[in-house]
Amino acid sequence: MDTKAFKRSLHSSENYHRKGFGHEAEVTTQLESEYQSNLIQEIRNHNYRLQRGDVTIRLAEAFGFCWGVERAVAMAYETRQHFPTERIWVTNEIIHNPSVNQRLVNMNVGFIPVEQGEKDFSVVDSGDVVILPAFGASVQEMQLLNDKQCKIVDTTCPWVSKVWNTVEKHKKKDYTSIIHGKYKHEETIATSSFAGKYLIVLNMKEAEYVAEYILKGGDCNEFMAKFSRATSPEFDPDQDLERVGIANQTTMLKSETEQIGKLFERTMMKKYGPDQLNNHFHSFNTICDATQERQDAMLGLVEEKLDLMVVIGGFNSSNTTQLQQIAIDRGIPSYHIDSAERIGSGNRLEHKPLGGDLIVIENWLPGGEIVVGVTSGASTPDKVVEDVIEKIFELKGAVAVV
């Protein structure tokens, strides 16, 4: 499929919208009321530090809502205002934050149901309004919605679109896109749909396995079993790894994406020689600025003396997971929660360990004076961060009395 031609055709359709509807001022006021926080602004104004009693809060200097997320949420709100009576759907969570998605449900915005792992678009009728979320949608989904003659509101983050353009360049030049990402993540599913041949690697370990295969060959069946859900149809590692280009899920760990890119550059140089490198390897910078800023801020924060770290964001938020990884790598006790409701009375906490399931622990806040690092993923409103901080102050006060 010529994805570039399809995009051009879709973008010229009167049913396609990727800008607001003229309700910016009203929506901005509404979003500020629902999601911004005076307390968080106060902490920013005081060098990202706040102390009450025995507790000092240290906020990362970049955290929370990024521009792409704000834009997506604002467009969703505008869509509801502009189409007050139409049925409105979102193809997936608008962003990875439960409170924001619940707010859309309260506004009578529906989410495409999922049956046995597959989205059921039969609920969508011609003339319905369908919002594409911040991390985009696959070409196949866009084509289906276009064929149904739906009104499409595209809130895809421009950084994600940039990655799509990159893999389309790979396809045009007959390069296989090696995508650093999670094969089940909505953004990576969308990105791979714009690629020709592709292979998705989760981390450096998987990348090293692929690099070793490029240099020395190996068992094709073993390779395909390992990446059975992470390759394009009819992928052949013996043929399709001769020319590769690097792309990424925008929310992955920046340093790891860079390491993977350098690994494949060295690999192709070793196999084909410096003179032929440009014929076998392409790399474009597709690391999102906002992701990079939040990771850099976290790297700075964990250099301070922290007793523990609280990372706030949706449990399916990839960029939030990467922030937690930074704290764990530094040896700091780190707790990933999605809302203040996870903090219970009696010094109890429900949190999600990295790579694990939700667990409940007791006595997570130490006694005496403590310094708590706090950050949040790009889909987390300041108001949620405020609620968590206030709950920590409240709980620590209760603990101190006991």
Instruction: Locate all alpha helices (DSSP H) within 15-82, ordered by sequence.
Output: 24-35, 38-45, 67-82
**Which residues, at least 6 apart from 106, have a Cβ–Cβ distance to it below 8 Å?**
none
Matching residue, tokens 């704290």:
327
User: CA-to-CA distance for 98 and 373, rounded, in angstroms?
Assistant: 22
What does the alpha-carbon distance between residue 310 and residue 319 come to, in Å, rounded to a whole number? 14
Q: Is 386 a catalytic residue?
A: no
Evaluated on CA atoms 204, 206, 208, 210, the torsion sign reads negative
Which of 301, 365, 299, 373 shows the shortest CA–CA distance to 50? 373
List of long-range contacts for 123-127, beta carbons under 8 Å, 24+ apart: 123/89, 124/89, 124/148, 124/150, 125/87, 126/150, 127/86, 127/151
Of 373, 7, 331, the C-alpha closest to 190 is 7
What is the Cα–Cα distance from 33 to 1, expressed in whole angstroms? 44
CA distance 213 to 210: 5
Q: Which two tokens stand for residue 400?
A: 């101190």
Q: Out of 187, 212, 265, 303, which one is annotated catalytic?
A: 187
Calpha distance 20→26 (Å, rounded): 12
Distance CA 136, CA 372 (A): 35
Contact 16, 152 (CB under 8 A): yes
Q: Which of 252, 91, 118, 117 is nearest to 178 (CA)?
A: 252
Residue 375 and residue 66 in contact, taking contact as beta carbons nearer than 8 Å: no
Cα distance between residue 294 and residue 60, in whole Å: 8
Catalytic annotation, residues: 187
